Structure formats: structure tokens, C-alpha cells
Amino acid sequence: MSTEAHPEPAPENARPRPATGPGPAREAAEGALVDAVVASFDACPDPRLKELMVSLVRHLHAFLREARPTQEEWAAAIDFLTRAGHLTDDTRQEFILLSDVLGASTQTVNVNGTAHGGATEATVLGPFFVEDVPRVPLGGDLSFGAPGEPCWVEGTVTRTDGTALAGARLDVWEADEEGRYDVQYDPARRSARGSLRTDEDGGYRFWGLTPTPYPIPEDGPVGRLLRAAGRSPLRAAHLHFKVAHESARTLVTHIFPEGDPVGREDSVFGIRDSLIKRFERQPAGTPTPDGRTVEGTWSRVRFDIVLAPSEG
């Protein structure tokens, strides 16, 4: 990934915000335009779509009237979104990345969260989830040769009432120690990711990689925006999970190692205290849970997952 540090250039004709307001006549015209755009959705047959569009229009126009961007600045914003669209494909989602770094992804998780005592907290999906992944048997290795320290991950999947969920599907994915996901090397490559099913007792176990911090992709418009804003692109080390069972609500979450130097500075604001786990490093030669021979050190972590009841 690119590590260039050139900031996004400011529009040549950018001007400071006026010291005074727009004046009564212009303010009236601006308000009348907002009312006209809102009224254009009066005949919308879908009440929810109408609600969303009216709210969007009101907030968008409120931003424009407060920040008062120049036409050149607005054109630069349109160009930014256009370049994000050109970069987005089946394996690279620049718009999800933009949503992540603005905190919108985490806020959407927050506003959709329903309190269910004891359920595992959700966090962001991220831009590198893919549906087509290899199936891994219980105790198998989903690293598929990706570089990094081996990590033994185990736990259970239950409902909030304590019922073990046999046959729950876990999709797991992570970056390697070079800070890249498989699809960043080759869209068809599959490594450091896989899916598995829990056993009759709701248990799961697999070999992955010890998570390490890494920068989000910096070779696109989102990376350039962060550089221009003086923000770090680093994500705290983490391991992604998506957990599904027909009798429970699907969960998207991560776990984060204790003591990560990135800490709360995670560039996508995804850390939850309850998801910080102890990854215990094992000295070279320490016997593994399944008898596997590991060259060098390895780590292990337990993550017991509790799914909220299905909304249905």
C-alpha cells in the first residue's frame, strides 16, 4: 500500500468563512429552497424513504448554510466521492472506509444496538469482508500460509439464556503481520480468513494469526483525506468475527488484544472495552492444545460469544 504523505490540496479559490451572516434576503431564499426540496417528497409512497430523505435534506442544507463552502470546494467534494467510487469494487470498498473513518459506521452500530443483557457487543464490519471463503474444520488453520505468529482461538457460542448454539456459523478474517488482507494482494486470494461451524456443545476452535496493528489503505482518497487532516491511519490490532444462527441475531464484531499501543486511537473508532481480550503469548516449545508442532512462539485467546435473540 502507498505510504506517500502528500496532503489533499486545498481548492485554489477557497475563501474564509464570512464574518457576518448572509443577510435577511439571502437567508430567506436559502430557507425557501430547503422548504421546496422537502416538499418535493410529499408524494413519496414509502413513509420510511420519505422520512430518510427529508432528514437528509434538512441536515445537508444545514451543513451548507453553516459551513458555506465555495463552489470550488463543493466541486472538490464531488470529485472526492467520484474517485472513491472509481476505486470501489468487489474486494475494495472505499465508501465503507470513508464511513468508518468518519465514525458513521460505528454510530450506525450504536443506533441499531438493542440492549440484551449479556449479549456480545457489536462493532464495525470493515471494508474487507467477502462472502466466498474456504470452509475450515474445527481446530483447522485458517491462516492458509499468511505470514504471522500462530494464534489458537477457542470459545463457545450461546444465546443470552445460556443455550449452546450448535451449528452456528462463524466467519473469521484478519490482516497478516504485513498489515494486509488477502484481497489486497490479489482479489482472488483467500488466506487469513475462513468459516467454520460450532460443535454440538456450541464450541469452536481454530488456528489463526496473532493480530497486529496496521494502517488502513492509504492509496485512495480516504487515505489522502486522513493525511491532509493530520490523522493517523492506524487501526488497533483485531480479529474479525461474523456469527450467525437461525435462532439468534447475527453479530458482527472484533476482538482486540490487551496492551495494543494503538489503543483508543483506532482510526475507525471500533474499540469496545468488552471486546479487549488477553492474548497469552506462549514460549517456543510450549505444547499446543491440539498437539500441533509450532516453530517459535504462539499465542492463545478465549472468546465466548453470546448472541441476542432474533428480532423475529
Tens of pLDDT, residue by residue over 70-106, are: 999 999 999 999 999 999 988 789 999 999 999 999 9
In a domain, residue 78? The reply is no
Residues 168 and 284 in one domain: yes
Residues 111 and 229 in one domain: yes
Q: Which three cell numbers stand for residue 28?
A: 430567506
Contact 279, 211 (CB under 8 A): yes
Task: Count structural domains, the chain.
Answer: 2
Residues 51 and 113 in one domain: no
What's the pLDDT score for residue 261? 87
Amino acid at 110: N
Structural domain range at position 115: 94-307
Residues 64 and 104 in one domain: no
In a domain, residue 117? The reply is yes
3-state secondary structure the chain: CCCCCCCCCCCCCCCCCCCCCCCHHHHHHHHHHHHHHHHCCCCCCCHHHHHHHHHHHHHHHHHHHHHCCCHHHHHHHHHHHHHHHHHCCCCCCHHHHHHHHCCHHHHHHHHHCCCCCCCCCCCCCCCCCCCCCCECCCCCECCCCCCCCEEEEEEEEEECCCCECCCCEEEEECCCCCCCCHHHHCCCCCCCEEEEECCCCCEEEEEEECCCCEECCCCCHHHHHHHHHCCCCEECCCEEEEEECCCECCEEEEEEECCCCCHHHCCCCCCCHHHEECCEEECCCCCCCCCCCCCCCEEEEECCEEECECCC
**Sign (positive/negative) of CA torsion 151, 232, 98, 106?**
positive
In a domain, residue 280? The reply is yes
In a domain, residue 1? The reply is no
In a domain, residue 8? The reply is no
Residues 35 and 99 in one domain: no
Q: How far is CA 188 from CA 90, 160, 185, in A?
A: 10, 37, 9
Q: At 3, is the pLDDT very low, low, confident or very high (cuts 50, 70, 90)? A: very low
Residues 128 and 208 in one domain: yes
Q: At 256, is the pLDDT very low, low, confident or very high (cuts 50, 70, 90)? A: very high
Residues 60 and 101 in one domain: no
Per-residue pLDDT reduced to its tens digit, 147-164? 999 999 999 999 999 999
Residues 49 and 137 in one domain: no
In a domain, residue 64? The reply is yes
Residues 190 and 50 in one domain: no
Sheet containing 169-173: order of strands: 193-197, 169-173, 239-244, 251-257, 276-277
In a domain, residue 84? The reply is no
Average confidence (pLDDT) over 237-264: 95
Residues 46 and 102 in one domain: no
Average pLDDT, rounded, for the chain: 92
Cα–Cα distance, 154 to 205 (Å, whole number): 4
In a domain, residue 133? The reply is yes
Q: Say what the pTM is.
A: 0.85
Contact 134, 142 (CB under 8 A): yes
Residues 101 and 39 in one domain: no
Q: Please, how many CA atoms are within 13 Å of residue 161, restricted to the half-sphere of its CB?
A: 6
Residues 267 and 133 in one domain: yes
